[in-house]
Structure 1
Amino acid sequence: MNTTNLIRLVTLAAIWGGSFLFMRISAPVLGPALLIEYRVLFAALFLALVGWFLKKRLDLATHWKHYLILGLFNSALPFLLFAFAARTLSASVLSVLNATAPMWGALLGAAWSRQRVSLRVVFGLVAGTAGVALLVGFDSVAARPGAGVAIAAALCAAFCYSVASLYAKSAKAVEPFANAHGSMWASVLLVLPVLPFVPAPSQPTAGIMAAVLALGVLCSGIAYLLYFRLIAEVGTTSALTVTFLNPVFGILWGALFLGEVVGWYTVAGSAIVLLGTAFVTGFVPRLRSPATTFQTK
């Protein structure tokens, strides 16, 4: 990976780590539904402008079902779940829970294809679970009312990303920019029916709307462009290393701008989760004990 792509990778991690900061700021005011409707709408409009400038077509007549499925599991549903969790949990905890997505993906992929799960993956799953337990068990947010439901929602959001990844591997190939653009418009339609059932708690200020705009344009629109450029330049495996950097920035931004406490359990829990993710995704050498595997059902 050259210096330019390394800068892109770190920038992407900083942006995606910041998404939890912006959600933590705006979710208690707007509520999850209105916040995410704004987020995907701003992202869709930004990508539409980019698509118009680059003369990129969506080909809705052919791919509309694909965009709806991808929009549901890669944007609308996980965004809503994270926004719901952001009313209670800190940006630090949210960013670490998000890092469990590759672990869910490995487990779901093995179950779907009925493949053997290696000792390396099993170790990674156990380590990741232990890291999450350590993080939320000692963090003060775990004592807040509704924290258990919020943690479950954040983990379900990470699981949704793994579903989207599994679907994308088996779906008909669509140009990456079209995937990002089309799924954002699909998310706008999917979130819209939820709005009447989840009203906004209060009126947003200019600062809140600025955070929402950043969440949509920066953390969704621009971030997608950076991510797909990275995939094109260095491949999917190298681009996935952003998973290891997101929590670093999520914790950093939470501490700097929201005054969130970074305790020993934050550092230790995050490190264990990232270690587990590294084992599950294959960024560490395979453990040598092929006899110790199990078959998923």
Structure 2
Amino acid sequence: MSSTTLARPATPPLAVSWQTPLELGVLGAIWGASFMFMRIAAKDFGAMPLVEMRLALGALVLMPFLWKARASFPLKLWPKLALIGAINSAVPFALFAWAAQRAPAGVGAICNSMAVLFTALVAFLFYGERIGARRAVALLAGFVGVVVLASGKTAGASIGWAVGAGTSAAFLYGIGGNLVKRKLTGLPPGAVAAATLVCSAVLILPFAIASWPEHSIPMRSWLSAGGLGVLCTGVAYAIFYRLIMRIGAARASTVTYIVPLTAVTWAWLLLDEPLTVPMLIAGTMILGSVALSQKQPA
């Protein structure tokens, strides 16, 4: 709708004016904590069992959305949902969990922020969308940041493979975001999230059973896995889609800038993980490139 045909909206009431920044901040803190939870639990569960816990618990939280919209999900749609779920949830979650066993929590969060740039790159390569000079520069800066991050070491050990896994996960998010936009348009987003998580949980289940740890798992890791599934997946998706409906996807995606900062802060406060110079440089470059790519032309 054109703004010239509508009267300027009145100043929003106080209850609304503070609600959006509060929810963005809470969501950024929750998603930042997800990397800490993975760092804690992955070493005891292993990647696949932890991912299964995350998917199953997240799907349970979001199931009311799917049940309410069940008439919009015929059987013929489910193979497509399963494919998108694998690309957008199952495999990226597994890659991040694998990386969490080998690198600090902040590393995965910094890699995750590349998803915004990869979404633009996939749209350019496969769907003919213009990328523009600004986004091209942003992509280059982001990739340089990844190289800087991969070159770093923690406690004398290289984190290059973990960075590769996290960056691959972010690339899959870029593919998944484009597929959701083009293949699932018109469906309730909360129900789509629930459906893809259900499909992903089914896909991961055989691998989780085959690799389920034989040793006892500490309560700290159980609680972290529960927080990862219930809070960082189920509740976080519900908040995110609520934000999308209120302020739109573009503004809601600004939470991307908050996640690495909160992830590093959580890990520093609760896990005593240091912020290394390569992490600082790479994080600045990647977040700067994301901000540049999102800036509207004058």
Kindly provide the CA deviation profile for residues 175-206 of structure 1, in whole angstroms up to 9, marking residues without a partner as x. 11111111111011110122255443742111
1:235-254, aligned counterparts within 5 Å? 235-254=248-267
**Do structure 1's residue 94 and structure 2's residue 108 form an aligned pair?**
yes
- Per the TM alignment, residue 267 of structure 1 is displaced from its structure 2 partner at its CA by 2.7
After TM superposition, give the deviation of residue 149 of structure 1 in Å: 2.4
Q: Could you tell me which residue of structure 1 aligns to residue 173 of structure 2?
A: 161
**Residue of structure 1 equivalent to 2:96:** 82
Please give the alpha-carbon distance, in whole angstroms, between the structure 1 residues aligned to 2:206 and 2:263. 30
Give secondary structure in 2 for the equivalent of 1:241.
helix
The whole-number CA distance in structure 1 between the counterparts of 2:291 and 2:217 is 40
Residue identity in the other structure for 2:174: S
Q: CA deviation at 1:95?
A: 0.4
Distance 2:275 2:153 in 1: 9
In structure 2, give the amino acid aligned to 1:181: A
Structure 1 counterpart of 2:146: 132
1:293 corresponds to: none
Amino acid in structure 1 at the alignment position of 2:40: I
Moved more, 244-253 or 267-276: 267-276
Unpaired stretches in structure 2, ≥5 consecutive residues: 1-15
The aligned counterpart of 1:13 is 28
Unaligned ranges ≥5, structure 1: 287-297
TM-score by length of 2: 0.87
The one-letter code sitting in structure 1 at the alignment partner of 2:148 is L
Alpha-carbon distance, 1:261 to partner: 0.7
2:54 aligned to 25, 28, 39, which one? 39
Give the AA of the match of 1:241.
T
Distance 1:110 1:188 in 2: 31
3-state DSSP of counterpart to 1:261: coil
- Per-residue Cα deviation, 1:42-65 (whole angstroms, up to 9, x for no partner): 1112222x448x844363525312
Residue among 66, 91, 95 paired with 2:80: 66
Which letter maps to 1:106? A
- Compute the RMSD of aligned alpha carbons: 2.1
- Listed one character per residue, the Cα deviations across residues 145-187 of structure 1 (whole Å, up to 9, x for unaligned) are 6x33222111111111011111012114211111111111101
Change (3 A) 1:65 1:120: same
After superposition, the C-alpha distances for 1:101-136 in whole angstroms (9 at most, x for unaligned) are 111111111111244432211210111122222333
After TM superposition, the runs of 4+ consecutive aligned structure 1 residues lying more than 6 A away are: none
| Whole-Å separation in 2 of the counterparts to 1:180 and 1:115 | 25
- 1:191 is matched with which residue? 204
Instruction: Report the counterpart of residue 4 of structure 1 in structure 2.
Output: 19
In 1, Cα distance between equivalents of 2:204 and 2:52: 6
* Number of residue equivalences: 281
Asked if 2 retains the 8 angstrom alpha-carbon contact of 1:29 and 1:201, the reply is no
Q: Look up the match of 2:4.
A: none
